[in-house]
Chain A
Amino acid sequence: MAAPMEVALVTDAAGLLSNCSVWELHSGSALPGYRGGNSGARGLALLGGEHLLGAQLGKGYISVWELQRKDQLQQKIICPGLVTCLTASPNGLYILAGIAESIYLWEVSSGNLLAILNRHYQDLTCLCFTDDSSHFLSGGKDCLVLVWNLYSTLQVEHSQIPEPRHVWSRHSLPITDLCCGFGGPLARAATSSLDQTVKLWEISSGELLLSVLFDVGIMAVTLDLSEYHMFCGGMDGSIFQVDLCAWPVQRDRAFHSERENGKIFKGHRNQVTCLSVSTDGSLLLSGSHDETVRLWDIQSKQCLRTVNHKGPVTNAFITLAPANMFNPDSKPSVPLPKFSKHLHGTESSEDQGAEGVTLRLGLHQQVVGESYLEKADRLYSQMCLTREKNLMGDQEQLKIQVTELEDEISTLRKINKNLFDFSARIITKSAK
């Protein structure tokens, strides 16, 4: 296959046939789905191309499938409450789940619960990682969007509450969706809210770049990969396309009314809950409360395909198909550990001593004598020392060193000789 295959993963609230149905994007041919339960809104995530996670609707656990074994649930991660949103970091190392007002952060390799972040005042609605996994965004019903630096949340001491990097409080009704663009910490992020606006922010500075006011509440937002367009799914079932890079040259076109229609995808009868754009930016996938998933051609705004479901669609996204999905014999490179329910630092410390492999910073301070920062400092100073030597150590330095060493050798020799003389004297004396 020349081009990488793209698949659509769709879940609905009924989950009759399968929890998560999979179909090939371009041909529409259905692939076997993943069975068991039904997943809640914004509760489906691919983990490292090897596992599929689904937060159960109305139940307090996350189901985990191995991508190649579709009919069998591999594990259930029991959570302390209803999971309202779930995401996995793109590098496959961390899992984030929003449970009531708190964000739970698990490490995939060990299964430890690393942090519980309590900065939202009401239930979380959505979570999203930047594409380099360095930051994540969280949006809640308290109208706030928080931007967190993943590593600084991990490094904070237990006594302190981790601080988000930015607090965006310019929405006036609950946040409904987040979308993070391309570029790691330099990316732009789009947030949609029930207050009928979609706002575009810059993650690095935390500044608001753009705010678009609509006539209806917006339930879903997404950006295409090149960030030329922003797609906003409204409560009334229409999908709005906002052009982010339009030149005002086009102003004097005659067909104003036609152009207006040309920016709305019409077809859904109820609120649009999820949106996703294919990697080439030509196809748009939308799921709605009217129990259908539609695939649109972005250029012509035509609906290419409509897939009916039995319940409101909770998740629908397009992803490049991981290799494991089609190879039934493949196995995940690392088996998933058991995910713990309790915060990691509060466990007994002997336990931690036993597993010396974890590479977490900061939290280990009690066990290891010195912190990694101190170690790093020491290492750095050593490096600086040698470097300084190198810098100064021209020929002269070398000569000085050589002479010093020669001196030392000569003194050693002298001592050796003395020792030899002394012992020889004693031996010869005793012989006499």
Chain B
Amino acid sequence: MTKKRKHQEDFQKVKLKVGKKKPRLENATDTNFKTKAIYLPEQLKEDGILPTNNRKLNIKDLLSQMHHYSAGVKQSALLGLKELLSQYPFIIDAHLSNILSEVAAVFTDKDSGVRVAAIRLLQFLAPKIRAEQIAPFFPLVSAHLSSAMTHISEGIQEDSLKVLDILLGEYPILLTNRCSMLLKNFVELISHQQLSKNLKSREKISWMLSVNPNRRVTSQQWRLNVLIRLKKFLQALVDGSSGSEDDEGIQEQKENSQFMRNSVCISWKEHASNQQHIQLYENGGSQPRIDSAFRLRSLVSVTDSMEKGLSSAENLKGFIEIIIPLLIECWTEASPAQLAAPILGNLLEPESQQLMQQVLSIIYLLWKLTKQHDETHKMEAWLRMNYLVDFKHHFMRHFPYSLQETIKHKKRDPYKSTKYYMTSSNSVDHLLLNLTLCDIMVSLASASTLQMDSDWLDMIRKFVTETLQDGCRLNCKQLNRLLGVTWRLMQIQRNKVATETLIKAVYILYQQRNLLFPVRMLLLKFFSRVYQKEELSSQKIRSRSKVLSRWLAGLPQQLALLGSRKPELSKQLIETIHSAASHSNKEFLQSLQATASRIYDPVDGTLVLLPAESQKRLVQLVYFLPCLPTDLLSSLSRCCIMGRMSSDLAATLIGILRMRSSFAGWKCQVQDSSVNDVDYFSFLFSTLTGFSKEELTSLQSIKGKPHISQTQLSPVHLYLTDLDQFLHHWAVTEVVCHSLSTIPSRSQCFDILQNGICKYLVGLAVIPDSTAGSVLCAMSKLLDQACILSENLHKFLASCCYSLLYFLLTLDKEDAEHARKRDMLWGSCISVLALVPRVFRLMLQSLQVSRACREELPVIGQLLRLLMQHGQLRSHMVTSELLVQQIVKDIMTLKSGEVQEQWLTDLHYCFNIYLATHPQGPGAISTEY
């Protein structure tokens, strides 16, 4: 039965029926999957095969294709190269020399498509190759560039400028090293040589502007293109040779930056702790000079080491001789003289204006280059002799150039017009042109040639004055140029009338209310430079400019008004104020004195608002104030103690006041009594106290545990200050104590201090702990045999001491904030107690234990024990042994009947050892607790 059933289960017959689906077999293969092919676009890199691009060409193939005769192949090779290199940047490093030599070779390719591809490739490559990497190949690249520039076909010439742009953008220094060759190319691009007819001056070759009708662009456009490049190139040359030196306008003088570079600044603390070392070298310098530019063999120009480009004066002269006639020709073509009659205002077309701008900028850059040579005067004389007449004739005839209305141009090509006239509403763009012209012309004039040049100098001066007067819309760069011209004009013409009008014009601009910050800064620098110049020149005959002194007198006011809004501006102001004050300019000092109370206001004065660096200068300025009245000193004292100045700075201030007081000088010397002795003392005392009278009275009402520490045995309650405040106060206290201790008549000084304490502190119920500590510290520093303390003071000191000691002993060990006060306060208490036995005795007398509540007993016991352990105090205790005995006995009686605690046994032990047996032996046991 069972067997049969099993059999049936194993071999069950599947019954297939018509109309029903055939069930799936269990072992049927599922065939509904799809396959996809895997492509491997990249090969494994490890094996020797070089990586290839999409068309499976590796670098070698591509480079060899560059020599193919077909332009299409070459172009595709360049494109492939770009693709390949962007995929595998490491190839660039490995094959740099091959790539560069091949790519550079096709700069001069006949097919424009190839050139475009080559330029694109270069554009892609240039940012990836560093200047050091390309430097060894640069002679090759530049040779190809040069041959492209001088190529006979115009298309190649035009494209060569694009190559130049790229190279100039990435490798300006490398390119300027080869300037002799390139400059010649530039000249040849826009002109051709012409042998002069007469044979005598065979060497003197004159150059003519060339006109080539075959070009795609007009020759004027072409010239503009070339000139723009030339200007860029010269700019790079100027930048490279003058290093970081800025425009000569109003910038900082070069020397200053040099000073900063070479000198070593060290703070004493670090030197003393051996963190900083000083090493001076034999021949003067504080640093060995390693950044020498000398090279045995110039990397770039191996062959033509003889010619030095424009760095030699002769070459520069030669180039100027060639280029300036050309430039003048360009100018005359573009200038409005071509229009029938000189129109009023000399309106300019934008294109020609562009060209003129380029011409002038090139001349300006050339002038700058001439100034870098040693014999500047000779050079200037030479320039003046050769070109002044031409320039006057061509440039100055229609001098203040202005721009034609640009509305119609805007319609014609909106793109261009927006590009050019974005910044300006048709009145400012021409300014650059005019300013460049002014720059050029003014540098041709000098003080000695003033009479001859007065006509055109007057024109320039008029222009500058007018521009300055309505110059509120000038931007920073324009103003810089303008001020540069102004400065130069003032240098040329030294008489007072001429400079005064110029300064006045600048001053009118300065007085504008809503100037941008950098503009304001520039004006400020300009004025301070003018001021310094005047200080130097008119030392004896103080023929000061009125405008300038008005400006100077307004400075403190401005500083006070400025507050904390513009710290940089304030810094600059303070610099100028400082130098004027140190030069003891009388009018200025008066105005400074008048605003001093606002600058040094403790609440919202400039001093407390500015950052630390400026604060330092302001504190130093205190030295130069002609007199320091009482209210100023009191606000200075508030500044010191309020903690908005660092404690170092407060120390500096106290030191400066000490120098100003009559105690720093020699006894017999006649002192100008700028600081009253009384004021000086009250300054020191209020700084020592650390809290104003109002603050102290408001403290009296504070009650409660977290802020107040009080004991029943002393009338003085302590207000617990923050740790920061405490530390600041303590640092100031030490300086004040030192100042007090240097005053020659010690006992009088002490009397004054004593009076102050009696008057202001004695009788207060709540005293800040820092103040109590400071008073004790000052006492201990100042006391000597000659001083007599009043009874009141004795009592006050005794109760202060006890309060402080009680506070220290009840201090929670874990309370990190107050724990740091411990050493300082303990030290000052102990030293006062040791110095004045009477205070000690009074303190012991005040320990009337019978009245004390029981909680205080352990503290008193501990205190007595610690005091006994102190060697000097012990001897005082011996003299008042009965008193101590009484106290100990009182404690015993109060404590009797209970279990002997640890502190009690300790006290007992100490008392027995130190006092009961009159020991002589053990000296100073450490006062650790």
Binding site for B on A (CB under 8 A): 13-14, 38, 40-41, 57-58, 118-119, 121-122, 141-144, 161, 169-170, 172-174, 186, 188, 194-196, 200, 202, 204-205, 207-217, 227, 235-236, 240, 242-248, 250-251, 253, 256-257, 259-260, 263-264, 269-271, 289-290, 311-312, 314
Contacts and interface: CB of A to CB of B under 8 A. Distances in A.
A244 B267 contact: no
Contacts of A170: 259
B271 interface: yes
Interface in B238-281: 258-259, 262-269, 271-274, 277-280
Contact of B273 (A213, A245, A246, A259): A259
Given A121-B584, A314-B666, A209 B652 contact: no
Interface string B280-318: 100111100000000000000000000000000000000
Contacts of A143: 582
B265 A248 contact: no
B655 A216 contact: yes
Contacts of A211: 263-266
Contacts of A14: 667
B669 interface: yes
Contact of B623 (A13, A173, A244): A173
Given A118-B540, A215-B269, A260-B273, A210 B584 contact: no
A65 to B, nearest CB: 20
Contacts of B398: none
Contacts of B623: 173-174, 194
B273 A256 contact: yes
8 contacts: A57-B669, A118-B539, A142-B584, A170-B259, A215-B648, A242-B268, A243-B271, A246-B279
Nearest to B258: A207
A214 to B, nearest CB: 4
B433 to A, nearest CB: 39
B274 A209 contact: no
A264 to B, nearest CB: 7
A207 B584 contact: no
A269 B267 CA distance: 23
Interface in B645-692: 648, 651-652, 655-656, 658-659, 664, 666-670
B655 to A, nearest CB: 5
B284 A209 contact: yes
Contact of B263 (A172, A210, A214): A210
B537 to A, nearest CB: 9
A209 B289 CA distance: 13
Contacts of A38: 668
Given A245-B280, A246-B279, 19 more contacts: A58-B669, A58-B670, A122-B584, A173-B656, A186-B283, A186-B284, A200-B286, A204-B284, A209-B285, A209-B286, A212-B267, A217-B655, A242-B278, A259-B273, A263-B271, A263-B272, A269-B741, A269-B742, A270-B742
B541 to A, nearest CB: 10
B747 interface: no
A290 B744 CA distance: 8
A309 to B, nearest CB: 12
A314 B65 CA distance: 90
Closest 7 CB pairs of A and B: A121-B583, A208-B263, A209-B286, A13-B666, A246-B277, A214-B268, A213-B267
Contacts of A174: 623
B582 A207 contact: no
Contact of A122 (B273, B540, B582): B582
A227 B263 contact: no
Most B Cβ at <10 Å: residue of A38, A144, A172, A250: A172
Nearest to A249: B277
B263 A195 contact: no
Contacts of A289: 664, 742
Contact of A244 (B278, B656, B666, B667): B278
B494 interface: no
Most A Cβ at <10 Å: residue of B271, B540, B583: B271
B387 to A, nearest CB: 33
B268 A240 contact: yes
A57 B286 contact: no
A66 to B, nearest CB: 26
A204 B286 CA distance: 14
B225 interface: no
Contact of B540 (A41, A161, A207, A213): A161
Contacts of B579: 169
Given A174-B623, A215-B651, A40 B656 contact: no
A169 B536 CA distance: 13
Interface residues of B, number: 49
Contacts of B670: 58
A58 to B, nearest CB: 5
Nearest to B579: A169
B620 A195 contact: yes
A264 B273 CA distance: 11
B738 interface: yes
A204 B272 CA distance: 29
B540 A210 contact: no
A122 B535 CA distance: 13
A248 B279 CA distance: 9
Contacts of B269: 215
B669 A207 contact: no
Given A211-B266, A242-B278, A142 B667 contact: no
B578 interface: yes
Contact of B620 (A172, A209, A247): A172
B274 A210 contact: no
Contact of B266 (A196, A212, A256): A212
Interface string B591-625: 00000000000000000000000000100100100
Contacts of B271: 212, 242-243, 263
Given A207-B263, A212-B267, A314-B666, A172 B280 contact: no
Contacts of A213: 265-268
B280 A227 contact: yes
Nearest to B670: A58
Contacts of B258: 207
B668 A58 contact: yes
Contacts of A250: 274, 277
A148 B291 CA distance: 31
A257 B283 CA distance: 33
B266 A312 contact: no
Contacts of B286: 200, 209-210
A42 B551 CA distance: 39
A244 B280 contact: yes
A362 B272 CA distance: 51
A99 B264 CA distance: 34
Contacts of B266: 210-213
Contacts of B279: 244-248
A242 B582 CA distance: 28
Contacts of B741: 269
Most A Cβ at <10 Å: residue of B258, B268, B584, B656: B268
A169 B576 CA distance: 13
Contacts of A41: 666
A139 B276 CA distance: 28
A136 B216 CA distance: 71
Contacts of A243: 271, 277-278
Given A207-B263, A212-B267, A260-B272, A121 B582 contact: yes
Contacts of A161: 539-540
B659 A142 contact: no
Interface string B109-122: 00000000000000
Interface in B546-588: 578-579, 582-584
B659 A194 contact: yes
Contacts of A141: 582
Contacts of B540: 118, 161
Contacts of A244: 278-280
A105 to B, nearest CB: 17
A188 B579 CA distance: 26
Nearest to A201: B263
